Amino acid sequence: MHLRTFAIKNMSEEKTQPEGIGLPDLPPMPAGAEYPEGHKAGFVNIVGSPNVGKSTLMNRLVGENISIINAKAQTTRHRIMGIVNQPNWQIVYSDTPGVLDPAYKLQEGMMKFVKTALQDADILIFVTDVYEDAMAHEATFDKIANMDIPVFVLINKVDLEGQEVAMKRADYWKKKIPRAQVAPISALHNFNVDTLLDSIVARLPEAHPFFPKDELTDKPMRFFVSEIVREKILTHYKQEIPYSCEVVVEEFREEPHIFHIRAEIRVARESQKMIVIGAGGNMIKRVGTDSRKELESFLDKKVFLDLYVRVDKDWRNDESKLKRFGYFD
């Protein structure tokens, strides 16, 4: 994972509180900024069931690894924006958590991100795959099917099945949402993704840019640091452990030749803490080493990473804690 650091919002900021669930406060345009007549801009929001490939598609569309990717479901917890600019247009893509019936407060917060994305979309991308017959949340699908904005239904993972299956799935979803533009894709192999851009730009409304033209995302650097560590947790642990962890960046300090980062891995129970640490600290060392290597690539500088594990009892159902983590206003 490597981003152009100039394009990340407030790279050196020391905010300790995460952002809320709605649209961010949009930065003012530069004084005297002028844009071509007919300039287009809009929010193109990506929704779908867990594990259908939304984040892989997001990264393809933005051209950078904005969203972490993992084989485990429910990898994405927040709404993440990726901004693509050309002189005559600006697209603000949003990756969102997989749609589901919430089982606890954390998932309720995640679904609020989806709800907001449905409300402010200028164009909606509904991602499914060659195996899905129905979205994981029927009420959300009904909203999508009845939206009066342009909707794209993208059938992902067609590389796993033949063309005949892909065409049958396209016919199936065209009947489910007759007014939508339906297309088979493979986000992993970039099949049919490049052709999507022209269709999106053609449907963008005329508007000035929502963000300065040199920004790549609305998220601060701390967010990406925590996501990189969380992705390593998803990779190295099984069962409920990845879904019981939250990563909080307590210190993010830049010096001329090194970043000093201190992060806490919050778990819900003492037994989970022992698993995360591992025998003799072997597991937390593995997570720390892998995270540090990716952070050094991401930040293009040496990183000193200090990881701690802390029990934050039942944090997934504590709304006050979830507010501090950015899942609720």
State the 10-residue block means of pLDDT for the chain, 329 residues long: 43 40 51 77 97 96 93 92 97 97 96 97 97 92 96 96 92 96 96 93 96 94 96 94 96 96 97 96 97 96 98 95 94
Tell me the C-alpha distance between 124 and 44, whole Å.
Answer: 6
| pLDDT (0 to 100) of residue 108 | 97
DSSP 186: B
What are the tens digits of pLDDT across the range 52-96?
999 999 999 999 999 999 988 889 999 999 999 999 999 999 999
| pLDDT (0 to 100) of residue 19 | 40
Q: Which domains does the chain have, with CATH numbers?
A: 37-203 (3.40.50.300), 221-324 (3.30.300.20)
| pLDDT (0 to 100) of residue 73 | 87
| pLDDT (0 to 100) of residue 9 | 47
| pLDDT (0 to 100) of residue 242 | 94
What are the tens digits of pLDDT across the range 107-148?
999 999 999 999 999 999 999 999 999 998 999 999 999 999
CB 52 within 8 A of CB 128: yes
Tokens of residue 5, six digits: 């650091």
Task: Write down the pTM of the prediction.
Answer: 0.89
Tokens of residue 306, six digits: 């200090």
Tell me the C-alpha distance between 185 and 188, whole Å.
Answer: 9
| pLDDT (0 to 100) of residue 18 | 41
| pLDDT (0 to 100) of residue 27 | 53
| pLDDT (0 to 100) of residue 272 | 96
Torsion region of 51: left, alpha or beta (phi above 0 gives left; psi -120 to 50 gives alpha): left
CB 320 within 8 A of CB 326: no
